[in-house]
Amino acid sequence: MSLYNVNEKVVLKEIKKLQPLNYNQFRWWRRFDSPNKSLHKNTDLLRKIQNGDFDFSHFFWQAKYTELEINKIYDECYPDFTLFNEKNAIHGARRKRLWDDFEKDEKDKLLQIQKEFRLTFIMTREEVKIEMEKFGNSLEKFYIHCENKFGKRNKKMSTRGRPKKINK
């Protein structure tokens, strides 16, 4: 009997890919980090995609791992729910924070992908959204699709900063 439906083999396989973190009192609920570090913001979009900067969030697997631990505690304490609530308090808080981190991370990645495609290719925001919804393959193949269909900008569009001074 379990509280959460979790495939233990899949979760443990994915957790092994992550890098363990030392304890941090300000982010105590996080135990793992992505094995690859994000590239600099000015790096080419294709290199970022190949590096895995926009891959599926690792917080999902951490949350599933926590649910696996909660299931084990539940099995140990099954008839006594008071004992379960005492033992589960920290895991429940960890689970909630990890799911919040997962949702925030996925939203931020999606917005960043849309922005990068708009700045790299000759596309509007609406065109990016429409193409992303229609396309059903990997991000790298989507990059190639956009390159063929829309073409790259000669110079990457800037979004902030002071405009160039025009000498007369």
Residue 2 has what DSSP assignment? -
Task: Answer whether residue 153 shows pLDDT above 90.
Answer: no
Is 168 part of a structural domain of the chain?
no
Instruction: Answer whether residue 27 is part of any domain.
Output: yes
Per-residue pLDDT, 46: 92
Confidence of residue 158 (pLDDT cuts 50, 70, 90): low
Residue-wise pLDDT for 140-150, tens only, equals 999 999 999 99
Which neighbouring-strand residues pair with 20?
32
* Mean pLDDT estimate for the chain: 89
In degrees rounded to 5, what are phi and psi of residue 20?
-65, 145
Higher pLDDT, 158 or 90: 90
* CA pair distance 3, 42, nearest whole angstrom: 45
- What is the number of structural domains in the chain? 1
pLDDT at 74: 84
| pLDDT at residue 161 greater than cutoff 80 | no
What are the pLDDT digits (tens) for 76-122? 888 888 888 888 888 989 999 999 999 999 999 999 999 999 999 99
Burial class (CB in 10 A: 0-12, 13-18, 19+), 62: buried
Model confidence at 157: pLDDT above 70:
no
Rounded to whole angstroms, the Cα distance separating 37 from 83 reads 40
Residue 106, domain member (yes or no): yes
Residue 164 lies in a domain: no
Q: Please give the share of the chain, as a percent, with pLDDT higher than 70.
A: 97
Please report whether residue 59 resides in a domain: yes
CA dist 58 and 17 (Å) reads: 10
139 contact partners, CB below 8 Å, separation of at least 6: 49, 54, 113
Residues with Cβ within 8 Å of residue 101, at least 6 apart in sequence = 29, 30, 57, 59
Domain that holds residue 82: 8-48+55-150
Q: Does any domain span residue 25?
A: yes
Ordered DSSP codes for 5-53: ---HHHHHHHHHHSEE----TTSTT--EE-SSPPPPTTS-HHHHHHHTT
134 lies in a domain?
yes
pLDDT at 95: 92
Structural domain includes residue 110: yes
Region 64-87: mean pLDDT is 87
Average pLDDT over residues 61-80: 88
Structure-token pair, residue 21 = 């973190």
**Of the candidate ranges 44-58, 117-131, 153-167, the one whose mean pLDDT is the lowest:** 153-167
